Every structure is written in C-alpha cells, then in structure tokens.
Amino acid sequence: MTGGRFRDLLAAEWIKLWSLRSTSWLVGLGTLAIVAFALQNSLDAYNGWPGFTAMEKARFNPLTEAFSGLSASMLMIGAGSLGALTIVGEYATGLIRTTLVAVPARHRVVAAKLTVVATVTLATGTLVSLGTFGVNQAVLSGRGVAVSLGDPAVLRVLAANALLAPVSALTGLGIGALLRHTAAAIVAVCAALVIVPTFFQPNVHQWLNDLYALVPLYIWRTCLGLPQLRDDPALPTVAGSWAAFALWPLAAAVVTLIVVRRRDV
C-alpha cells in the first residue's frame, strides 16, 4: 500500500468516527463532565481545608482531588464504549461490507481504524488529564497545597490518567469486533474495564495478585495513579504496570485483526 492510499483510509475512518453521534457526546460532554467533577472536588477540598485534622492534611493528595477513581471509571467506560461503537456501528449498518469491497486488504482497514481511534482517544485522555490537573491546582494553590509538573511522580500520574482512554478504547474495539452487538458490547466493556476490577483487592494468594496486576483499572488505582507508592510486594510494580497498559491494546488489536479477517460480514 502506498502512503497516499493509507492516508485515504485514515481520512475515511476519521469521517466514519465523527459521523457517529456518540463520538461528539462521549468526547465533548464526557470531557466537560470529568473536568467539572474535578473542579467540584477541588472546591470542596479548598472549602473544607481549615477543618481538616493534622493527619488529614499530612495525607492529603491533591492529585486524587483532580482525578479520582470515579473520574477514571467514567473515562474508561466512555472511551471503551466509543471504541466498541466504532466497529459495532459499521456491522449494524452494513457499512463494513462497502468498506471491505473497496479495500479487500482487511488488515489495512483494521490498521487505519486502530490508528484513528487511538489518536482521538489519546488526545481526549491528554486533554482530560491536563484539564483536571489544571483546574485542581488553580483552586488548591490558594491553600498552598498545589503540586507542579516538576514534582516527583506527577508526570507519571498524568501520563497514566491520559493513557486510560486509548487503552480502554482499543480494548472496546476488540470486544466490539468479537460481539458485533451494541448492547452486549457496551455491557462487556463496562464489566471488563470497570465493574469486575472494582472488586479486586490485594490478598494472601500471590497468583491472584499477579493476575490482578494485568487489569488496567486495578494497576492504575494501586500503582500508576498514585504519586507515592505503597511498599507492598503484593501490589503491581511500575514497570509491570506499564507493560500491562501496553498489553491490552496490543491484544485487542490482534483480536480485531483476526476477527475481521476470518469472519464473514
């Protein structure tokens, strides 16, 4: 394939993505909702600061006020649903047949779709991460408890927050390719990315801890999303967590490619 042809595929996938009503709603309103939630959390912390105990002030983490577990869940569900709808919508409308007739090389179609979804959701995740951080620090600076980008682990936390979006979106794309049904795909995305991992806790069985250390929400909550890591051998390591972050979209890309190439449309 020439560079020009692949650019045409990227342009086509870009148009198809933004032709879905859900894209504008999930990206636009979803981003605003998460940033607004961070602002509300920050204002609550600002107003309540004088009443905090000495221990509460010592343990206060401004980054948690900026991007909480609820924000992470909202971002993952939104991005995962967007990824699933990107491919489920094509099968539901029959547009996938037209696409594959025009471009019989299915792996090229999948590559273009993965590239566009990853790019859009990475940009969205970065906007959410920086936006929540910005409003949070602007508010908390009035109490002298804000942090800066140069502080230890802040960039790691912001990067992890941003990457939750493309990791979830590509996972959703893989699930959508497997199920090809809108409701089933959305339910599966929510269950796999958020609902089931919410109940994971470190325990005495290390093999279970090792299994949990492959789940994006769990490793974000117990490792990558924390500025100060807990000294606990049962918890995921930073290196292992980044590897798991890379594994999910890679596995989803492989699943999508296999399904699209082998199944009839």
Rounded Cα gap, residues 172 and 154, in angstroms:
28
In the prediction, which pLDDT does 2 show? 43
Decide: 162 and 241 in contact? Cβ < 8 Å. Answer: no
Rounded Cα gap, residues 63 and 146, in angstroms:
9
Residue 46: which residues within 8 A CB-CB, separation 6 or more? 139, 140, 142, 143
What's the burial of 57, exposed, middle or buried (CB within 10 Å: 0-12/13-18/19+)? exposed
In the prediction, which pLDDT does 1 show? 44
In the prediction, which pLDDT does 93 show? 85
Closest CA to 252 of 6, 83, 7: 83
pTM: 0.92
Rounded Cα gap, residues 191 and 91, in angstroms:
22
Helix (H) / strand (E) element for 136: namely: helix 106-140
Amino acid at 4: G
CA atoms within 13 A on the CB side of 178: 16
In the prediction, which pLDDT does 193 show? 96
In the prediction, which pLDDT does 265 show? 66
Within the chain, which residues score under 50 in pLDDT? 1-3
CA 124 to chain centre: 9
**Is the CA virtual torsion 51, 57, 62, 63 positive or negative?**
negative
For 27, 40, 57, 203, the CA distances from 37, given in Å and listed in that order, are 15, 5, 21, 32
In the prediction, which pLDDT does 179 show? 94
**Is the CA virtual torsion 120, 77, 170, 86 positive or negative?**
negative
DSSP 94: T
CA atoms within 13 A on the CB side of 40: 9
- Cβ atoms < 10 Å from Cβ of 66: 30
In the prediction, which pLDDT does 232 show? 85
